[in-house]
Structures are given as C-alpha cells and as structure tokens.
C-alpha cells in the first residue's frame, strides 16, 4: 500500500512537470523565464515527539542546500537537501522502540509552484538517509522570496516532513538564494 502511495505521488509530480513544460512551449518563444536557482539555508527542525527523555520538543540545527529549475514563472522542480546537525534518539510510539539518528540527510525532489509572485509552495517525496535506518519522507512547505538585488533573495521558509513509519518534523529557516536568470538589458 505504501509503495502504491509513493508511486501515485511521483506520477502526480511528473504530471505537474509535464503540464508546466507544455505551458513553457506554448508561450511566446521570445520571452522565456526558465532559469536555475540555488539557495543555502540555516534552519531549526522541531521534533515534537517522544524522545528517550520523555515528551519534549527537540530542536535540531539544520543546514540546507537546494537546486531548483524554474520552467516558467509559475512552475519548477527542485532537489532539496537537508542535513540535521545532531545525533538524537526518538521513541516510535506504536511499539516503544528507540531509534538512534546520526546526522540524517534528507533528499527530496520537489514540485514548486508560485501561486503569487515570490511565494513558493512545494511538495515532494524523498528519502532520509542515515547509517542506522533510512525512511521515505513526504514533504509539504512554503517560502517567500524577498529579492534584495536582481539575482539575490532572502527566503524565510517552513516545511513539514512526514516519515513513513516513524517521526514527523517541522522546520523553520532562512535561506539566501541566487537566480541564474539572464539580466535585464537596458537600452
């Protein structure tokens, strides 16, 4: 059942990507807004679950590096990579098993959508890699890009990660992004 859910999510993502690519092809060819964007973020991941020390909110420092390709001004795809900079233990609620996590790395393949200028909503399947146990992850989140020059922006962000059969987290952070789009030429 879980595999079918992940395949459905991937199918939906591919459908969105295909639709966005067709939108780019159908637009006027003289003005393309496709471009790459990279960003780095410093964040805190809140683990509001039971830990080995009881119920508490464990805060994990997190570093993120994202690579995005914007097909047009509304749709993009992204490879979002997060490193949680701490070793920690959590207790799985259904069978009281302690899970040790050592600097887990999350990799997600996101569908990006800008419903309004500078506001980005994203969702994705992914995987959390760690020496002890790997988990499939489903992510939902948003960020708002505040441009401070033609190519640079600051982006506060928040996202929620649901791990299959394990704990869930919410992350708050601030990223700095760089857009590789062509500069506007003044005549």
- Smallest CA-to-CA distance from 141 within 106, 172, 107, 117 is with 172
Reported as a single tens digit per residue, the pLDDT across 59-80 is 889 999 999 999 999 999 999 9
- Smallest CA-to-CA distance from 105 within 48, 62, 168, 162 is with 62
Domain assignment present for 187: no
- CATH number of 171's domain: 2.40.160.20
Domain assignment present for 44: yes
Domain assignment present for 97: yes
Domain assignment present for 186: no
Reported as a single tens digit per residue, the pLDDT across 73-116 is 999 999 999 998 877 776 665 566 677 788 889 999 999 999 99
Domain assignment present for 185: no
With a cut of 50, say whether residue 29 has pLDDT above it. no
Number of domains in the chain: 1
List, as one string, the DSSP characters of 50-69. EETTEEEEEEEEEEEEEEEE
Domain assignment present for 152: yes
Reported as a single tens digit per residue, the pLDDT across 120-170 is 999 999 999 988 889 999 999 999 999 999 999 999 999 999 988 888 889
Domain residues for 154?
Answer: 2-24+32-179
φ and ψ at 4, to 5 degrees?
A: -65, -40
Domain assignment present for 172: yes
Domain assignment present for 111: yes
């Amino acid at each position: 059942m879980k595999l079918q859910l992940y395949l459905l999510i991937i199918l939906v993502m591919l459908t969105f990507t295909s639709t966005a690519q067709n939108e780019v092809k159908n637009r006027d060819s003289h003005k393309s807004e496709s471009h790459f964007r990279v960003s780095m973020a410093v964040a805190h991941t809140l683990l509001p679950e039971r830990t080995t020390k009881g119920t508490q909110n464990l805060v994990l420092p997190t570093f993120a590096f994202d690579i995005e390709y914007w097909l047009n001004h509304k749709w993009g795809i992204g490879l979002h990579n997060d490193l949680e900079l701490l070793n920690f233990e959590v207790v799985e609620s259904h069978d009281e098993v302690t899970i040790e996590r050592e600097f887990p790395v999350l990799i997600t393949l996101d569908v990006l959508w800008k419903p309004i200028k500078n506001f980005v909503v994203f969702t994705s399947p992914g995987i959390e890699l760690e020496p002890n146990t790997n988990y499939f992850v489903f992510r939902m989140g948003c960020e708002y890009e505040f441009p401070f020059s033609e190519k640079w922006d600051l982006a506060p962000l928040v996202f929620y990660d649901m791990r299959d059969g394990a704990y869930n987290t919410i992350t708050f952070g601030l990223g700095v992004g760089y857009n590789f789009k062509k500069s506007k030429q003044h005549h």
